[in-house]
């Protein structure tokens, strides 16, 4: 049974560019959450998707947007990249009716 799969694992982008990160949730899960983890910090909540809609959102600018597809997979898009967007981006899947989470291995984004 596959867990959460994230792609790509590493990415280098230039300031001002746009990036798309992808996440496939654990089989049977219907909710996907995205987190940003800066070096040496705990993850910060970006947003959560359920039934193809944004269900909750953290304190991130509109440059951060997302999408959930009918198969529950999700994308995180970041526009107009800043150096400060360099971080590990983690995807976590869950059931909307449950407390447990399964995390992916993350995508490490470096903005130069």
Query: Which residues sit at the interface with another protein, rule CB under 8 A?
Result: 31, 33, 35, 37, 40-45, 48, 50, 55-56, 58, 88, 90, 92, 94-106, 108
The nearest distance, CB 28 to another protein, in angstroms, is 13
The nearest distance, CB 80 to another protein, in angstroms, is 25
The nearest distance, CB 20 to another protein, in angstroms, is 19
The CB-side HSE value for 57 (13 A sphere, CA atoms) comes to 12
Pairwise CA distance, residues 89 & 20, whole Å: 11
Pairwise CA distance, residues 96 & 51, whole Å: 10
Nearest CB to another protein, comparing residues 31 and 74: 31
The nearest distance, CB 16 to another protein, in angstroms, is 26
Nearest CB to another protein, comparing residues 18 and 56: 56
Pairwise CA distance, residues 106 & 21, whole Å: 10
Nearest CB to another protein, comparing residues 16 and 108: 108
Distances 94 to 29, 59, 98, 101 between C-alpha atoms, Å: 5, 21, 7, 5
């Amino acid at each position: 049974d596959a867990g959460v799969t994230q792609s790509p694992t590493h990415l280098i982008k230039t300031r001002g560019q746009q990036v798309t990160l992808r996440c496939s949730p654990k089989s049977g899960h219907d909710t996907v959450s995205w987190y940003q983890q800066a070096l040496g910090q705990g993850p910060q909540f970006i947003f959560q998707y359920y039934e193809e809609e944004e269900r909750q959102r953290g304190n991130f600018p509109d440059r951060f947007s997302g999408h959930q597809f009918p198969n529950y997979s999700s994308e995180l898009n970041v526009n107009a990249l800043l150096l400060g967007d360099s971080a590990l981006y983690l995807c976590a899947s869950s059931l909307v009716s449950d407390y447990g989470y399964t995390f992916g291995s993350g995508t490490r984004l470096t903005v130069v």
